[in-house]
Amino acid sequence: MHALPRRGFLFAGAAALATRIAAQTPRESPSRDALIDDVVTANHILAAQEIVDAFGHVSVRTAPGAGRYLISRSVAPAQVTAADVMELDLDSKPAAGEKRTSYRERFIHGEIYRVRPDVMSIVHCHAPALIPFGITRIPLRPVYHNSSFVGEGVPVFEIREGGGDTNMLVETAELGRALAKALGNKPAVLMRGHGAVIVGKSIIESVARSVYLEVNARVQAQAMAMGQRISYLDEGEVKKRAEDPDPYGRAWDLWKRQVMQGAR
C-alpha cells in the first residue's frame, strides 16, 4: 500500500533554502500567518503520505520558548484549513474567547512542550507499520539513512503504567505527562496498541521524521522477514547524519508542492 518516497526530489534553490533556514532561527521567527500556513501544509502532507488518516494531528509552538502552540480544531487532517487552526496554552486550553474544541488528545502536545523546550513541533499518528514495534519486544532500529534519528532511541509508552485500564487515548494532562516522561529526550515514542508521537526542532523536521519513521518500520519488518542478518546504521553513522543542518528541506518543498497542486 505504501511506496517508498521517490528519489527524484525537486530542487529548492540556494536562495529559497537560505530563506527557509533563516526563518526558523530565534532571531527572526516566522509570522503567525506563516506558522498557520505550515500547520495546514503539515496536515495535508501527513495525510497525503498516509501517515495520518481520519485521525492524528500536528502542532507547532508559536515561538522558541513560548508557552503556546497552534493546532487544528478537531477535524480530519486532510480537511484542515487556516480557519481551523487554534492557539492553545501548555495546559492545552484554548485562547480567551475561543469557543471551539481541539482534539481530545491535545494533552500530548501541551505536556511535551512543557518539558521539552527544544521541541518546536509535534506529530501524533496511527501509522499501521509502527504498531507491531509497540506491541512486541522488537525495538525499532535505524535501517535507512533518512531514518537515522531512530538510532537515538524510540521508546515505547505503556499507557497501563500511567493510567491502568483506559480507552487508550491520552485525553488527560496526567496521561500527557506520563507520555512525555516516556519520550524523554528522544525524537519519537511509540504508543502500545495505538500509534506514535514524533517531535522536532521545526515543523519540517517533525513531519519528515514522521514519514521516515514509518518507512523505517516497513523496511525493518521486510528485512526481518527475509531471515538474514540485518546491517543497521551504527552509532558513528547516526552521529554523522545528525550533523546535516537541513536534511529534510528538499522533501518538505516537494511534498508541499504536491499537496498544493492536488488542491487545485
Catalytic residues: 105
Residue 37 pairs with which residues in a beta bridge? none
The three cell numbers locating residue 245: 543542518
Q: How far apart are CA 63 and CA 202, in angstroms?
A: 10
Q: How far apart are CA 69 and CA 59, in angstroms?
A: 7
Q: How far apart are CA 112 and CA 3, in angstroms?
A: 31
* 5 alpha-carbon distance from chain centroid: 17
> Sign (positive/negative) of CA torsion 58, 85, 166, 114?
positive
